Amino acid sequence: MTTRENSTAIDTSLAISTRKLNLWYGTFQALFDIDLNIKQGLITSMIGPSGCGKSTFLRTVNRINERMDYVRISGEVDVMGENIFGSDVEMLQVRKQVGMVFQRPNPLPISIRKNILFGHTIHTGGKTGKAEQDEIVESALKQVLLWDKVKDKLDHKATTLSLEEQQKLCIARLLPVKPSVLLMDEPCSALDPKGTEAVEELLWELRGKYTILIVTHNMAQARRASEECIFMLMGKVIEHTETGEMFLTPKHKETTDYIEGRYG
Amino acid sequence: MFEASPINLKNLTRQKIFRFLLGSMTATLILPVALILGTLIVKGAPVISFDFLFTSPTNGMTAGGIFPALLGTILLVLVALLASVPLGVAAAIYLSEYAPDNWFTRAINLAIINLAGVPSIVHALFGLGAFVLFFRFGTSILAASLTLAVMTLPVVIVATRESLQAVPMAFREACWNMGATRWQTIRRIVLPNAVTGILTGVILEVSRTSGETAPIMFTGAVFFLPFLPQGVFDQTMALSLHLFVVSTQVPEMPEAVPYGVALVLIGMVLLMNSASIALRMYLRGKKKW
């Protein structure tokens, strides 16, 4: 696992890299020649108007798009240096490596503890001793700053938690299978400002340990909570730079127009 | 300034009339149910006793009890369930969770709808041809139950599929995104949350199956048997057919007996339906999302 201390060393290695990625829903083309290099250990945000292909891109990186048989993909996507569409690639391993968090928290209708252990169980066959399980649950919940709040009610249904806690739990349950990339599709849009702040705080906490790619409609959030920023429009990447630079000195007119709120 | 205007009054009178009309029409719905149940209880209750339920008919069926018919109905329903529930639930899981939307799936769906629309007498003839004659099961509990199973298969499939589809898509996506296979998702999340609906469907099937007459008449149920069935290849008596027999085929039948038989049959069905409703309410209360 990489840490912030040696981040200079890993900055050069890429978590996600795509070459000429095109995607069609039936006859509608949603992504055009996407060439992106997303660095390991950073928080990268994706902004752009609705329908610009942000979520589609996210859903391509963990190969969840393919379950719809009218989706067609060309080009290459590498995760941690390996092509995820390679012939000897098992899709289930890609999804294990690339976790996903959704707009609406979607904890499973089972206990908090079982939610955390779910991914671990399905990938190991569930033959883990109780002590080790306890350790996994505690470590995952501590990483998302939820342990103190829920440690006395691990057997409660996860759906009884507040939305903010549910979203943190959804992040926590990805961690036991040791993913390298976390994809987040507007993870705060169902939360109130306080919940949003708490989740953003958590992102900084996880930064360095995981590569985080977060789609957001909230430009203030992109500015606050990410180090690099990608601006997309009509299925194309317009600009990809360091976040501060994007908001201070955007290079393209479309970017300027969007971040100044002239369309959205 | 807030007094009712003449037009207000006219509209309000009209509204009262229609409210009364619609309400009283709705009330007439209760009438047939109340009459059927009332008549059965008044005329049939006096013959219901421990002996009536648990002894065999005697004296050309004009005396004694209905035990062989009661037992026969329970056996027929049980064997029918054993055949239709695994098949129906498996088919529903495939259709809801795996089947791609193509001509084959659409053909299967169409077949299920058509199967549900086939009249029971046609099922009876099919059962006679297929199970009694072709598979050489003879007129037997097995043949009759399989006929009932085919007939109620669509009920099980539709109920199961609906309860599977009531499980939110977000749960499946959560599982798939963690690298769970379809089967792991079904086994661990979808099925446990759909089991209420499936059970409800099964119980409704039981209540429907237990009252059917035509499908079992040619395939395994008989007017009278002097002994109890010893296995699934024996013939059996059944409540529904017994009701038909004591109502129309036996001279000098005491009037209370057919009512008693009908009361037992309808009591069984009502008991099943109430159990289904109670179960559904209990399990729904436990579910939170």
pLDDT above 60 (res A221) = yes
- Whether the Cβ atoms of residue B92 and residue B161 lie closer than 8 Å to each other: yes
Q: What is the pLDDT of residue B226?
A: 80
Main-chain dihedrals φ then ψ at residue B89, nearest 5 degrees: -65, -45
Which one of B174, B179, B181 has the shortest CB-CB distance to A106?
Answer: B174
CATH class of A4-106+178-259: alpha beta
Residue percentage of chain B with pLDDT more than 90: 50
Q: How far is CA A177 from CA A52, A122, A189, A205, in A?
A: 31, 10, 26, 18
Instruction: Record the pTM.
Output: 0.81
Residue with tokens 């992504």: A31
**Most A-contacting residue of B97, B177, B183, B189 (CB-CB within 10 A), to test interface:** B177
Average pLDDT, rounded, for chain A? 88
Residue B19: burial class (beta carbons within 10 Å; 0-12, 13-18, 19+): exposed
A59-63, A128-132, A238-242, B87-91: segment of lowest average pLDDT: A128-132
pLDDT tens track for A163-209: 999 999 999 999 999 999 999 999 998 888 888 988 899 999 899 89
Q: How far is CA B45 from CA A86, B35, B41, B65, in A?
A: 75, 15, 5, 14
Q: What is the pLDDT of residue B30?
A: 92
Instruction: Look at A108 and B289 and tell me if their CB atoms are within 8 Å.
Output: no
Search chain B and give the residue with CA nearest A121: B180
Homologous superfamily (CATH) for B65-286: MetI-like (1.10.3720.10)
Q: Would you list the domain boundaries of chain A?
A: 4-106+178-259
The stretch A81-94 carries a mean pLDDT of 90
pLDDT above 80 (res B41) = yes
**Chain A residues 155-174 with CB within 8 Å of chain B:** 157, 159-160, 170, 173-174
Q: What is the pLDDT of residue A50?
A: 87
Q: How far is CA B185 from CA A114, B134, B180, B190, in A?
A: 14, 41, 6, 6
- Whether the Cβ atoms of residue A122 and residue A115 lie closer than 8 Å to each other: no
Which one of B171, B181, B288 has the shortest CB-CB distance to A108?
Answer: B171
pLDDT tens track for B176-228: 989 899 999 999 999 998 988 888 888 888 888 888 888 999 898 888 888 88
Q: Do the bridges between strand A228-233 and strand A236-242 make them parallel or antiparallel, or are there none, so unpaired? A: antiparallel
The stretch B39-68 carries a mean pLDDT of 85
Between CA B80 and CA B82 the distance in angstroms is: 5
Confidence of residue A10 (pLDDT cuts 50, 70, 90): very low
- ipTM, 2 decimals? 0.83
pLDDT tens track for B185-199: 999 999 998 988 888
Q: What is the pLDDT of residue B289?
A: 54
- Whether the Cβ atoms of residue A188 and residue A164 lie closer than 8 Å to each other: no
Between CA B280 and CA B284 the distance in angstroms is: 6
Q: Please report which helix (H) or strand (E) contains residue B281, including its range.
A: helix B256-286
pLDDT tens track for B224-283: 888 888 888 888 889 899 899 888 888 887 888 889 999 999 998 888 888 878 887 887
Between CA B45 and CA B53 the distance in angstroms is: 12
